[in-house]
């Protein structure tokens, strides 16, 4: 039972919260003057090493499930778990590197601002999800429009945030979809906490590249290439509506809804509402990936800012994740195969 728990997302989140708890305690005793920076470094290093080591079992197990032939349910669940693992690794890695940066500056600054922010972000990432209120509506077109709006708006917001954090035009990041050279992340020359952070950041990017660095990115580039250099608002509305087949889904619903019983319409509405809610969760993880990468890039102790290609490629990977997941949620589940998307809900049965 213990091994199964260690391989699960519950175990992953538990380990991340243990890292957060010990790191926060170490921060507090340093600020209170009850411990030296050397002792605090040792405490955080112990927690970071435990998280890194235990995470290997999680990633090995989930990648085995993801690569299983003939087991779509296992592959679907494993992919989502690996995406969560990447977000947690990147957030934890940024926290450890931020700890080293702030501890290095503590004598002169007297505060730990980046480390404190990173810990707050890690706490939010690992917090239990809040239940969403249910609805009784069977107005299929209204619920469909709400779900499509969630997909377009959440994706647009995620992409614009990535562009702002990267301080590069969005089309430049999109041109790098699925491309990142993680070999440039070298931990051997770094301090103890930064080295641990670098290992976790590398594992996170390797996971994202495995999940989102495939042939699907070429399809996105082809579909959006003629819109990349237009004004951002037009790109968002036309590009995302095209990717997510918004108008086609509306026409499909109009053609089929008249033939559904009230129970069938209710069931499909519930599925659509659930798709919207879970998609928000996926974009929540994308936001954590973006913020953690921005923090890690800004830390001199990691030196990532000197590897511009790596950083832009990493942002491009997050863009790929956002767009491919959005396509999966909008279609019949053939883009990634994670869910039965909107068109699948409308055509099933």
pLDDT in tens, 209-254: 999 887 777 777 776 666 555 565 666 677 788 888 899 999 999 9
Q: 147 pLDDT exceeds 80?
A: yes
Identify the pLDDT of residue 73: 81
> Where residue 132 falls among pLDDT bands split at 50, 70, 90?
low
Percent of the chain with pLDDT over 90: 56
Identify the pLDDT of residue 224: 66
Does residue 306 belong to any structural domain of this protein? yes
Q: 135 pLDDT exceeds 70?
A: no
Does residue 187 belong to any structural domain of this protein? yes
Identify the pLDDT of residue 202: 92
Identify the pLDDT of residue 234: 66
Identify the pLDDT of residue 15: 94
Domain around 334: 2-127+137-347
Mean pLDDT of 125-142: 73
Rg (CA), the chain: 21
Mean pLDDT of 193-203: 94
Identify the pLDDT of residue 121: 96
Structural domains counted in the chain: 1
> Where residue 2 falls among pLDDT bands split at 50, 70, 90?
very low
> Where residue 1 falls among pLDDT bands split at 50, 70, 90?
very low
Is the pLDDT higher at 187 or at 297? 297
Q: 3 pLDDT exceeds 60?
A: no
Identify the pLDDT of residue 250: 93
Does residue 120 belong to any structural domain of this protein? yes
Most confident of 22-31, 163-172, 206-215: 22-31
Does residue 132 belong to any structural domain of this protein? no
> Where residue 180 falls among pLDDT bands split at 50, 70, 90?
confident
> Where residue 133 falls among pLDDT bands split at 50, 70, 90?
low
Q: Across the chain, what does the average pLDDT equal?
A: 87
> pLDDT tens, 302-349?
988 888 888 988 998 898 899 899 999 998 656 788 888 999 999 886
> Where residue 5 falls among pLDDT bands split at 50, 70, 90?
low
Q: 175 pLDDT exceeds 90?
A: no
Is the pLDDT higher at 71 or at 51? 51
């Amino acid at each position: 039972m213990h091994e199964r728990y260690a391989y699960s997302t519950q175990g992953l989140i538990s380990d991340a919260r243990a890292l957060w708890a010990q790191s926060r305690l170490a921060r507090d005793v340093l600020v209170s003057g009850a411990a030296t920076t050397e002792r605090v470094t040792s405490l955080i290093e112990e927690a970071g090493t435990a998280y890194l080591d235990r995470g290997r079992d999680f990633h090995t197990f989930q990648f085995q499930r993801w690569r299983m032939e003939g087991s779509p349910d296992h592959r679907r669940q494993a992919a989502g778990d690996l995406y969560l693992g990447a977000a947690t690794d990147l957030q934890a890695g940024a926290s450890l590197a931020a700890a080293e940066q702030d501890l290095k500056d503590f004598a002169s600054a007297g505060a730990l601002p980046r480390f404190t922010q990173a810990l707050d972000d890690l706490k939010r990432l690992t917090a239990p999800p809040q239940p969403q209120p249910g609805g009784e509506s069977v107005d299929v077109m209204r619920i469909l429009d709400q779900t499509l709006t969630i997909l377009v708006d959440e994706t647009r917001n995620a992409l614009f945030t990535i562009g702002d954090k990267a301080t590069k035009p969005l089309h430049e990041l999109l041109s790098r979809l699925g491309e990142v050279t993680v070999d440039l992340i070298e931990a051997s020359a770094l301090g103890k906490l930064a080295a641990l952070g670098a290992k976790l950041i590398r594992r996170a990017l390797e996971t994202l590249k495995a999940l989102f660095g495939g042939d699907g990115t070429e399809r996105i580039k082809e579909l959006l290439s003629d819109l990349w250099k237009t004004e951002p608002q037009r790109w968002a509305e036309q590009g995302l509506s095209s990717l997510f087949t918004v108008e086609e889904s509306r026409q499909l619903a109009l053609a089929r809804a008249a033939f559904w019983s009230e129970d069938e319409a209710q069931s499909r509405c519930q599925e659509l509402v659930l798709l919207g809610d879970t998609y928000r969760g996926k974009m929540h993880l994308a936001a954590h990936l973006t913020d953690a990468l921005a923090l890690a890039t800004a830390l001199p102790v990691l030196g990532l800012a000197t590897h511009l290609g790596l950083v832009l490629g990493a942002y491009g990977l997050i863009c790929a994740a956002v767009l491919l997941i959005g396509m999966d949620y909008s279609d019949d589940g053939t883009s990634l195969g994670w869910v039965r998307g909107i068109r699948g809900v409308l055509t099933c049965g």
